[in-house]
Amino acid sequence: MAKKQFKAESKRLLELMIHSIYTHKEIFLREIVSNASDALDKLAYLSLTDDKVGMSRSDFGIEIKLDQGARTITVTDNGIGMTKEELESNLGVIARSGSLQFKKEMEQSSSGENMDIIGQFGVGFYSAFMVSDEVTVTSRAYGSDEAWRWKSAGADGYTVEESRKDTVGTEIVMKLKEDTEEEQYGRFLDAHEISALVKKYSDYIRYPIRMEMVKHRRKDKAEGTAENAAPEWETYMETETLNSMVPIWQRPKSEVSDEEYRSFYKEKFMDYEDPAAVITVSAEGAVTYKALLFVPARAPFDFYTREFEKGLQLYSSGVLIMDKCPELLPDHFRFVRGVVDSQDLSLNISREMLQHTRGLKVISANLEKKIKAELRKLLENDRPGYERFWKAFGLQIKYGIAAEYGAHKDLLRDLLLFYSSAEEKYATLAEYVSRMKEDQKYIYYAAGDNVARLGKLPQTERLLEKGYEILYLTDEVDEFVVQILGKVEEKELKSVNDDNAVPESKEEQEKHDKQIEENRGLLDFVKETLGDKIKEARVSRKLKSHAVCMTADGPVSLEMEKYFRSLPD
């Protein structure tokens, strides 16, 4: 049979898997089981809206079989299955989120670090090749009576041929390698080892993962055996369900360890860092639901691009209905990942209808409050942690303030951090206000490219000398933010460029007026020389040791003008 070739990208990933010296090869099982669970989700969902499926939740499951003689491990599911075309396109190309991200990271880091990343991403189906010489996938798609068999022994290609299968679903046979020490000892052929791996990685899978286990029991005493004869043991086989099945978000918070939450997050959302915050919600009332949310510690590589899709996974009584439900998250918290599970949402509802469901609005409003509260908690209890969060997602919070004419400013204001001249570190607006001098009227800010330059701005000298603190704004959106905020705790935000930024005493004012009189000639000369390049030359009230400074005409700084000019028409 003619071999088909893998696409170039897939081949590279595959080769990496085959030659992997990665020590946590065990994650292949998690990947294969999670694919089976995804396939079950798909059919379970279909069965709710389509009577023809003729199956109910309890009929779905995953089975693992070990064959020491043949050195195979087989994972079978009765999920949605794959057609011939799907076998080819799904297993022959890496277009999957997890694998794709993995590949990107792999290309960015130098080769030595690659191996460590393998376990952290959902590397997917190809991870089977870390432990197998040959992988055979036999599948029958729901609604079809044909079955097809995909087979590959590695990077040199795969075959697809017609096959037979009585039931809908997928069977994956992995022929284990023998060439490494670990595999010689048959670690992955040991039922107890496999059982432990399922508990470790796949315990929250909502379908039973069953395996036949060897058991021992005492034999009943045969007739006529002496009372005190040594007991005889017999072995027998029994099918066991290996996972506890209850999703982690359904378990009471008191029974779940922080470590469990963290590893759940990392597996489910393909991050290799612990989350910055974990939020659990258990709500009863108008809408009953459970939510488990995470604030990532760093922004995904595509976070500030159009490609990034916000949203939470939405389950209805444990069945996944939407992978990224955007209605559950406001834009300013779009970095949050997580799961919402509610029995009050009807399953056979269309996506369009779902958007208008009141229940969803109630949940999302509630989650917004919880997220806000959790971020405040982080700010108060773990400042370095919050500052890390801020570096990753602060920009998003600022966009949130600038958006919709400031509709969310009251919610978001006290999450803001700005770099401050005081002690040269981040400050909240409340901290700034609490440190204001008695005679200080305004909250001062200077906007520009970078903090170092702003500190040297001529306009800042007198203010700093008076002991006033200045916020250094370096993001383009910052000036919109201060304009939308307007005031904080009754204190007006004022640019250091503002002519009235520095309060003047009567004497200072008189001195200033005199200066204007005395320098009329000079000012006229400057204006004449520069002509249209400037609007006017004035005596500044803001300067101390510097001779001149440039100021924009109006409330907007030169920096912001530059920004506006850079925008396409």
Best CA proximity match to 318, nearest among 61, 76, 57: 57
CB of 180 to Mg ion, least distance (A): 24
Distance, first Cα to last Cα, the chain:
59
Site for ligand ADP in 526-555 (CB under 6 A): none
Which residue of this chain has its Cβ atom nearest to ligand ADP in the complex? 124
* Residue 122 in contact with ligand ADP, rule: CB under 6 A: yes
121 labelled binding-site residue:
yes
> For Mg ion, which stretch binds (CB under 5 A), given 34-42, 303-311, 420-428, 482-490?
34-42
Q: Of residues 85-104, which lie at the interface with ligand ADP (CB under 6 A)?
A: 90-91, 96-99
Instruction: Determine, following the binding rule CB under 6 A, whether residue 448 of this chain makes contact with ligand ADP.
Output: no
CB 161 within 8 A of CB 149: yes
User: Is residue 36 within the footprint of ligand ADP (CB under 6 A)?
Assistant: yes
Q: Choose between 94 and 276: whose C-beta lies nearer to ligand ADP.
A: 94
Partner touching 475 among ligand ADP, Mg ion, none, CB below 5 to 8 Å by kind: none
Query: What CA–CA distance (Å, rounded) separates 330 from 104?
Result: 28
Q: Looking at beta carbons only, is 38 or 475 nearer to ligand ADP?
A: 38
Name which position in 83, 101, 170, 396 contacts ligand ADP (CB under 6 A): 170
Interatomic CA distance for residues 165 and 443, integer angstroms: 73
By the rule CB under 6 A, 83 interacts with ligand ADP? no
Determine, following the binding rule CB under 5 A, whether residue 119 of this chain makes contact with Mg ion.
no
Q: Residue 297 phi/psi, 5° resolution?
A: -85, -20
Buried b or exposed e, range 435-453, using 16+ CB within 10 angstroms:
ebeeebebbbbbbbeeeee
Shortest spacing between CB 216 and Mg ion, in angstroms: 36
Residue 154 contact partner, candidates ligand ADP, Mg ion, none, CB within 5 to 8 A by sort of partner: none
127 binds, among ligand ADP, Mg ion, none (CB under 5 to 8 A by kind): none
Characterize the bridge pairing of strands 289-295 and 337-342.
antiparallel
Spacing of C-alpha 506 from chain mean position = 57
Q: Is residue 124 a contact point for Mg ion (CB under 5 A)?
A: yes
Q: Is 285 annotated as a binding residue?
A: no
Q: How far apart are alpha carbons 275 and 293 in whole angstroms?
A: 10
Task: Provide the minimum distance between the beta carbon of 96 and Mg ion in the complex, in angstroms, as a whole number.
Answer: 7
Q: Are 325 and 314 in contact (CB under 8 A)?
A: yes
Of 98 and 186, CB closest to ligand ADP: 98
- Residue 132 as a binder of ligand ADP (CB under 6 A): the answer is no
How far apart, in whole angstroms, are the C-alpha atoms of residue 98 and residue 94? 9
Among 26, 41, 63, 77, binds ligand ADP (CB under 6 A): 77
DSSP 321-343: EEEEEGGGS-GGGTT-EEEEEET
Q: Least distance (Å) from Mg ion to the CB of residue 58?
A: 24
Q: Which is nearer to ligand ADP, 38 or 105 (CB)?
A: 38
170 is in an annotated binding site: yes
Asked if residue 35 binds ligand ADP (CB under 6 A), the reply is: yes
Query: How far apart, in whole angstroms, are the C-alpha atoms of residue 481 and residue 461?
Result: 24
Tokens of 179: 């060439």
Q: Which is nearer to ligand ADP, 170 or 421 (CB)?
A: 170
Q: To the nearest whole angstrom, how small is the minimum distance from the Cβ of residue 437 to ligand ADP? A: 57
Q: How far is the CB of 132 from Mg ion (least distance, A)?
A: 16
Half-sphere exposure of 193 (CA within 13 A, CB side): 13
Interaction between residue 435 and ligand ADP (CB under 6 A): no
Smaller CB distance to ligand ADP: residue 170 or 551? 170
Backbone angles phi, psi at 417, to 5 degrees: -125, 140
Q: Does residue number 82 form part of the binding site for ligand ADP (CB under 6 A)?
A: yes
Is position 35 an interface residue for Mg ion (rule: CB under 5 A)?
yes
Count of residues in contact with ligand ADP, rule CB under 6 A? 20
The answer to the question of residue 119 lying near ligand ADP (CB under 6 A) is no
Block residue for tokens 């958007």: 355
From residue 280, how far is each of 228, 251, 367, 463, 554 by CA, in Å?
Answer: 57, 11, 10, 46, 48
Residue 240 CB, shortest distance to Mg ion, in Å, is 24
Alpha helix (H) ranges present in 203-280?
258-268
CA separation (Å) from 332 to 199, 311, 338, 383, 411?
36, 12, 16, 21, 10
Q: How far apart are CA 122 and CA 13, in angstroms?
A: 13
As a whole number of angstroms, the distance between CA 341 and CA 289 comes to 6
359 binds ligand ADP (CB under 6 A): no
Provide the residue type at 164 as one letter.
R
Q: How far is the CB of 313 from ligand ADP (least distance, A)?
A: 14
* Binding residues vs ligand ADP (CB under 6 A): 31, 35-36, 38-39, 77, 79-82, 90-91, 96-99, 122, 124-125, 170
Annotated binding site for ATP: 31, 35, 77, 82, 90, 97-98, 120-125, 170, 351
* Binding residues vs Mg ion (CB under 5 A): 35, 124
Annotated binding site: 31, 35, 77, 82, 90, 97-98, 120-125, 170, 351
